[in-house]
Structure 1
Amino acid sequence: MPPSSGAPAPAPAHGHSPWRSLRYRGMRWWSVANFVSNAGTWMQLTVQNLLVLQITGSAAAAGLSLSVQAAPGLLMGLVGGAAVDRWPRKLTAAVSQALLGAVAFTTALLVAFDRLDVGVLMALAAVTGLIATVDAPACALLGNDLVRPEDVPSAIGVGSLVHSAGRLAGAALAGITVAFLGTSAAYAANGLSFLFVAAVIPFLRLRPVNPVNPVDPVDPVRDESAPRAEADDMSVREGLAFFARRPRLVALAGISGITAIFGRNYGLTLAVLVTGPLAGGAGAFGTVATVLAAGGIAGAVLGARLRKPSVRLVGTLAAAGALLQAVAGLSPSLAVLLVLVLPMAVVESVSDTAATTILQTDPPAHLRGRVLGVWGSVRTVWSLAGPPALGLLMETAGARGALVTGGLVIAGAIGAGYLLSERRAPRPVLVRAPGIPTVTERPALSTAA
């Protein structure tokens, strides 16, 4: 059982170390818990599709189970985010983790006793997705509550590295576990990983009130002993309205959407490019995937060095990655492609870290759960719409044409958005008082803040 995390040991005021968030004892414990949880999750995911195929014999059913699990994020994301804002953060995360563990244990028992059929499988997938609408924003914001705002990029970058490490460990352990203990053991291990996280959460100490900057205190959501103001509007509508009125969040949604539809799906586009025009095989694409993963890890480390990223930085990096994607589509050989995909993965990973930081720190503390709920719904739309749209583009333009066209569309759209925001920004207005020349300026409301 972990000891109390104690008072955090903050990083130096101007530190840019990517590991500075680990100076907080609570963050170290949270990182260990997330590694265990991610390893368990990837153990389950590694065998899940095989299990669906064994039960149904249908690849379409395997895809349907993933869609059923994702559907609650589209339909109930806003409600889940509102619950995170309304309920105590630590309690919410602990309960949601325990419930996910219960679902995993239930699945393990049904598999062990050969009682799992298609209907039950789909129901369990839907329940998992429903719980995740609360668990995902609760755990994301809980990790950030352990560090100061300027160290949130480091916390997110470390979380990305932990996720990658847990994925590798989980995939490796899945094969060993299934070989010696059976498929149900992978689900049981995932259940134990959820319970481990739930057991760690009560011992985490959230960062205390900042007496110097009263705008950044521990709010009632974080400080479970503080009373909530009766005037707080905790409705779902308020979170949606805030998101819609916040130009920088709308801009992030636009960048996410355009990149999800015309880029990012490299498991599809690069696979077709490598095995088609470049005449490579599965091994060659495996090499490309490895380089992409390495670039993503390097980008997470670089992104963790950020302190206060801007939407302009997110857009610039996304546009740079898109242009690299377009050039990659013209690669004459596998060697040239490998040289291009590494920086492409790096800049996109840094862009993702910066965007996540803005999403989790820009809104007022009492609205962050609902903003993440809105984002979860938007991201689900893009993830469902992206692959079919990209597949249609590949059907008409081929792998090279899809990469080049998609990259140019992304870069062009981001550039156009930047120019439009600059044009809409109010210009300075000169005001001359009688006898005393003075100058005042209207505040700029550029979405590229």
Structure 2
Amino acid sequence: MSGRTDGTGMFRSLRVRNYRIYASANLLSLTGTWMQRIGQDWLVLQLSGDSGIALGLITALQFGPTLLLSMYGGVLADRYAKRRMLVVTQALMGLLALVLGLLVAADGIALWHVFVLAGALGAVSAIDAPVRQAFVSELVGPELLTNAVSLNSTIFNGARLVGPSVAGLLIGAASGDTAPAFFVNAASFAFTIAALLSMRNSELHPSPPVARAKGQLREGLAYTWAHPDLVLAMGLAFVLGTFAFNYQVTIALMAREAFGLGAQAFGFLSTCFAVGSLSGALLSTRRSARPRQRFLVGAAVVFGLFTIACGLMPGYWSFAAMLVPAGAAGLVFSVANNSFVQLGADPQMRGRVMALYFMCFMGGTPLGAPLIGWVSEHLGAPWGLILGGAVAVLAGCGAAAWLARGRRVRLEASVAPPRLQLHVGPRTVPSAQVRTAAEAAARQAPGQQAASGS
């Protein structure tokens, strides 16, 4: 099988050989990445004395460079061969993971080392992410893009399902030593590099390269601003990415502070969230068309409500159970928003548009993660979840109000099966404008009739 794209089904993108190779290696690499995230968060808690602010700061350092470098990464994605760029970025991320592991193993690690390496990893990831996002369309073509994006999320959350559990077991078996998790992640990048090098170039769908020129960053911003649908999607991505998608901070603090448990319990809670995320990703693979804006709005509100519910859970097991639907709702929103933006952008602008999207989705983390960490540390870990969920609900309601300007809106809810649907009618025209248009048509009618009779 080579580049076939025919047929239907949840896994139809896997019929494409290049994508199949990429997806298999990506599963191994992302498992290592999640192991490093768990190990890094646990290492920060060990070195900082369980500081929520330090945990938020390490997250901010890892995602902060997105604000500065993501758009530049998008320009590079539109200008150069994406596959070659990914080989370089994957090799650099593997090297950074190896350095962190060696420092921990040699017992020479300090908190500032973790901060510096997290910032360096964030800088490389800021270039890697928009290139990788845009590369998906070159692997499968536009017909399978929505399915491929959903499968990528399935793979991402399948790795999230396995990685935290394995990391928790490794750290627990090593009496709290996080070095094995970092070494496994460093080795995992080799699989992605090998997959990229083994692809058949003739079966890729490259977009025409954009020549080097001045003002390409501004061109990407202007293009996005001229499309209100993209602005809406990126606005939701920014607000939810800043305040609601901080589970890497809140789950760790809930495990350690609210419940007084160790690394294995932390890994289990992360796995529960991943189970829900994986379910949401699998549901999203059935979608073949571009999502509607009202679907994005509804998904944002539902995710916010589940996040609030997580913060209200009274015990460890009820919290673990609520993480499953919260993860599913978050992933449904994330996949839909990603597909919506990719399918709404012209191929020659896709790298820059996806860079801006990634900057919105992850760039707010340097602001949101320390804030959520501060709230969790001073008011209690549950309040970090409650605040983030409330902001997501308000953002969804605000977006719904913006969409509903001049339209008839109806909300339908049902219990069996559980369903929440937002129906937005066509935009209504004020009666004064209707009368003006009718009078203008009446005035033009005699002249048109005379012209047609002559």
Scaled by the length of structure 2, the TM-score of the pair is: 0.73
1:184 maps to 2:186: no
1:106 maps to 2:99: yes
Aligned AA (1:412): C
Corresponding residue to 1:135 among 123, 128, 131: 128
Q: Tell me how far 1:168 sits from its aligned partner.
A: 3.0
Cα offsets for 1:162-190 (capped at 9, x unmatched): 11222232233335555469643432321
Mark the CA change 1:261 to 1:172 in structure 2 (over 3 Å): closer, same or farther.
closer
Give the number of aligned pairs: 412
Corresponding residue to 1:414 among 380, 399, 403: 399
Corresponding residue to 2:5 among 10, 17, 21: 10
Q: Which residue of 1 aligns with 2:421?
A: none
1:304 maps to 2:289: no
**Percent sequence identity over matched residues?**
28
* SS of structure 2 residue aligned to 1:306: coil
1:203 maps to 2:185: no
C-alpha contact 1:292 1:341 (8 A) present in aligned 2? yes
Mark the CA change 1:290 to 1:66 in structure 2 (over 3 Å): closer, same or farther.
closer
C-alpha contact 2:138 2:207 (8 A) present in aligned 1? no
Corresponding residue to 1:316 among 283, 298, 302: 298
Q: Which residue of 2 aligns with 1:168?
A: 161
d(CA) in 1 for partners of 2:254, 2:170: 35
Q: Tell me how far 1:251 sits from its aligned partner.
A: 0.3
Q: Which residue of 2 aligns with 1:295?
A: 276
C-alpha contact 2:168 2:266 (8 A) present in aligned 1? no
Matches of residues 41-440 of structure 1 in structure 2 within 5 Å? Answer: 41-53=33-45, 59=51, 60-175=53-168, 177=170, 179=173, 183-205=178-200, 218-221=206-209, 235-260=216-241, 263=244, 292-307=273-288, 308-322=290-304, 345-386=327-368, 388=371, 406=391, 409-420=394-405, 434-435=447-448
* SS of structure 1 residue aligned to 2:364: helix
C-alpha contact 2:158 2:274 (8 A) present in aligned 1? no
Q: Tell me how far 1:355 sits from its aligned partner.
A: 0.5
1:21 maps to 2:13: yes
Mark the CA change 1:345 to 1:69 in structure 2 (over 3 Å): closer, same or farther.
closer
Q: Tell me how far 1:92 sits from its aligned partner.
A: 0.5
d(CA) in 1 for partners of 2:321, 2:110: 47
Cα offsets for 1:76-119 (capped at 9, x unmatched): 22222222222210000111101111222233333334444444
d(CA) in 1 for partners of 2:97, 2:20: 26
Scaled by the length of structure 1, the TM-score of the pair is: 0.74
* SS of structure 1 residue aligned to 2:64: helix
RMSD of Structure 2 on Structure 1 (CA): 4.5
C-alpha contact 1:104 1:191 (8 A) present in aligned 2? yes
C-alpha contact 1:326 1:406 (8 A) present in aligned 2? no
Q: Which has the higher helix share?
A: 2
Cα offsets for 1:286-309 (capped at 9, x unmatched): 998766543322221121111222
d(CA) in 1 for partners of 2:68, 2:326: 33
C-alpha contact 1:326 1:407 (8 A) present in aligned 2? no
Mark the CA change 1:158 to 1:436 in structure 2 (over 3 Å): closer, same or farther.
farther
Mark the CA change 1:389 to 1:425 in structure 2 (over 3 Å): closer, same or farther.
farther
C-alpha contact 2:13 2:148 (8 A) present in aligned 1? yes
Gaps of 5+ in 2: 409-425
Aligned AA (1:218): P
Higher alpha-carbon deviation: 382-391 or 89-98 = 382-391
Higher alpha-carbon deviation: 317-326 or 234-243 = 317-326
